[in-house]
Amino acid sequence: MTDWIDIGTLADIPQRGARTIRFGDGQIAGAKEIAVFRTGDDHVFALVNECPHKKGPLSQGIVHGHSVACPLHNWNIALKTGEAQGADEGCTPTIAVKQEGGRILIARPASLKAAA
């Protein structure tokens, strides 16, 4: 069963933007920084904050539709799957996320480890 962690409200994330979360020891051991994105239509997605190309910080990219453009070399990464779009190849691990009662919850990463 998935263990969900409350990370705040939708309003904590700028629309078409992201915030990053870094979990301290004991909470999610070994987890990398996670970027939680909010799209223009208020969907929320969570990815490891590393581009599959050269580990650019995706949280600093521009969100358009349900993708983010990496700030370093402009690869487009699908927020739902973490996959590079177009001719580029690579995949960033995703983390399950859901909205419930105005709160955003992300899955405690056994799933992160499985995806990495």
Q: Which positions touch ligand FES (CB under 6 A)?
A: 51, 53-54, 56, 70, 72-73, 75
Tell the residue number behind the tokens 């539709």, with chain if given: 65
Q: Which is nearer to ligand FES, 54 or 98 (CB)?
A: 54
Minimum distance of ligand FES from residue 1's CB (angstroms): 34
Minimum distance of ligand FES from residue 13's CB (angstroms): 21
Q: Which is nearer to ligand FES, 72 or 96 (CB)?
A: 72
Q: Which is nearer to ligand FES, 15 or 85 (CB)?
A: 85
* Residue (of 72, 69, 75, 12) closest to 44 by Cα position: 12
Minimum distance of ligand FES from residue 55's CB (angstroms): 6
Q: How far is CA 102 from CA 12, 77, 90, 96, 111, in A?
A: 11, 26, 33, 17, 23
DSSP string of 15-82? TTEEEEE-PPTTTSTT---EEEEE-TT--EEEEESS-TTT---GGGSEEETTEEE-TTT--EEETTT-
Minimum distance of ligand FES from residue 72's CB (angstroms): 4
